[in-house]
Every structure is written in structure tokens, then in C-alpha cells.
Amino acid sequence: MHPLISTDDLMSALRAEPHPTVLDVRWSLQGPPGREAYEAGHLPGAVFVDLDAELAGDPGPAGRHPLPEPEGLQAVLRRAGVDADRRVVVYDAGDGSSAARAWWLLRWAGHRNVAVLDGGYAAWTAEGKPTATDVPEPGDGGFRVRPGSMPVVDADEAAKLARVGVLLDARAPERYRGEVEPMDPRAGHVPGARNAPFSAHTGESGRWHSPARLAEHFAGLGVRAGQPIGAYCGSGVTACSVLLALEHAGITDARNPAALYAGSWSNWSADPDRPAATGEEPG
């Protein structure tokens, strides 16, 4: 199943029965809270899911956005009306970076039919498609979370990936180089990791680049199909954009997915015994 859905295809799907379950996961690290944007307007029938509170566990040694406990995630998804036999479409404000976290998490939980709205809420409204302000009550869904359907690595495994495969760092170049670090204890990157900023996956409109363009982008980073691939970012959110882009490009697929270092730099940098590389080169 392709990881993206166009605005036109989603509009058609919403007119059909059964229509997809739509989740609004607008989120920004700097705020304001995504719920405020949701209450001001959202796709018809969309249910808001809070990335900080519902799609992540409590911050701590495991990172700023560790994976949620399966039981809690299941309760969240069921309240949102998620069923195993109904497609789920997730969207964010525009660039797909936080929607990709929901896409990946649902896949990790065992859902096999999930897509991100290409261009997000910005594309939807720019085309004059309908919005709503009412809060739907979808009823309880029956989805059962079965964690582990997407691979996850810890710090040691991420370090090994950087040596024997490719480990991609989704943060902005200045954070990768160690010039600034606004969030975490230390600056720099995992030694051997290659910088693959999540902002490179979409254009100015917020829509994702073509598979061919993304394949060329990743080839320039030394990524090849069939090799071990992993990704991380600051806290495990925007790294999911890399994982989606790899699948969109045809480099990985559901049978051979790339891995997420869920703790990401917030976990790595908290351990003073782990080395930090700086500068342009992987190190």
C-alpha cells in the first residue's frame, strides 16, 4: 500500500463507504498546540490525536518522544475509531513530518493500510476543499495493537548501523554539524551518521517530491536498496519522515523496512560515555 494519498483521492474516498478513518496530527516543536489549529478547522470527520501526549510516552532516559506503551496507544486509537479493516489517513499542517510519525506508529502497531495526506491541511484548504469545526464522535474502534511490525533499534544498534549500513540523521544541517543544539544535552551527531534533513523530502508547497527525485537524493547519500538502513532525529518524530520518504522512493517496502532509532539524539546525547561527532563529515 502506497504511503501517500492525494487530496483528490482522499476526497473521493470520504464520499465512499466505508470511508477512511482520518486523524489530525498537527504538531510543532515550538507550538502552539495542534489542538488549537484543529478546533479552528479540520477535515470533515477528522479526529485530533495529540502527538506529545498520545503518540509518545513520557520523556525521560529513553528520549523526549519515546514510543508509547502498547496498551495506552491501543486505547487512543480505538477512541479515534481506528479499525484494522479500515484505511487510516493521517495529516498535519503541511510537510508531512509529524503525520509521518503517526503513519509509522500505526505501521509499528500492526496496521497494514495507512497513508499520509500529501501536502497536508495546507494543500487541502488551498484547493478549497471542505473543512469543519465540529468534533466527531466516531465510537470505539476495534484495532488491536501488535507492536513490533516495524523495526526499532537502540543506541548500540544505531551505532552498529552507522558502521555496517547507513544511519541517516533527519535534523537540520546546523544541528547535525554540532553548531547549535537548542533541545538536547550535547551537540553533534552519532559517529558515522549521514545528514538527511527531513525538509529535503517536500517542496515549497509541502507536497512530497517524486519517487525518482527522492531516490536520486538518497543515492547521493550512499543509500542503496537491500542494505541495512536506519534513521534518527532529535527525538524520533521527524526521522519517520525519512522512513516514509525511503518507502515512497521504492528503496524500502513493507517487507524490508528501514529501522527507527526511537530514542534518537535525545537518548544518545544524554549518555556522556557516547561519542559525538561534529562537522560536515559523518565522522
Sign of the torsion formed by the C-alpha atoms of 213, 232, 165 and 276: positive
Q: What is the pLDDT of residue 139?
A: 84
Proportion of the chain above pLDDT 90, given as a percent: 94
Q: What is the pLDDT of residue 33?
A: 86
User: Domain-by-domain residue ranges, the chain?
Assistant: 4-126, 152-268
Domain 4-126 identical in fold to domain 152-268: yes
Alpha carbon distance 182, 119 (integer Å):
27
Alpha carbon distance 2, 40 (integer Å):
30
Alpha carbon distance 114, 155 (integer Å):
28
Strands (E), 54-192: 88-91, 114-117, 152-153, 166-169
Q: What is the pLDDT of residue 31?
A: 78
Alpha carbon distance 259, 138 (integer Å):
32
Confidence check: pLDDT of 206 > 90: yes
Proportion of the chain above pLDDT 70, given as a percent: 100
User: Angle, nearest 10°, between helix axes 97-108 and 239-248?
Assistant: 80
Closest CA to 254 of 57, 100, 111, 138: 111
Q: Tell how far CA 187 is from the center of its chain.
A: 23
State in Å, rounded, how far the first CA of the chain is from the last one: 37
Confidence of residue 32 (pLDDT cuts 50, 70, 90): confident
Catalytic residue annotation: 233
Q: What is the pLDDT of residue 89?
A: 98
pLDDT per position as a tens digit, 139-152: 889 999 999 999 99
CATH, domain 4-126, list 1.10.760.10, 3.10.20.440, 3.40.250.10, 3.40.50.9100 = 3.40.250.10
Closest CA to 56 of 69, 46, 43, 75: 69
3-class DSSP assignment, residue 269 = coil
Span 152-268: which CATH code?
3.40.250.10
pLDDT per position as a tens digit, 69-90: 999 999 999 999 999 999 999 9
C-alpha grid cell, residue 38: 484543529
Confidence of residue 29 (pLDDT cuts 50, 70, 90): confident
pLDDT per position as a tens digit, 213-226: 999 999 999 999 88
Q: To which H or E segment does residue 15 belong?
A: helix 7-15
Mean pLDDT of the region 247-266: 96
Q: What pTM value is reported for the model?
A: 0.96
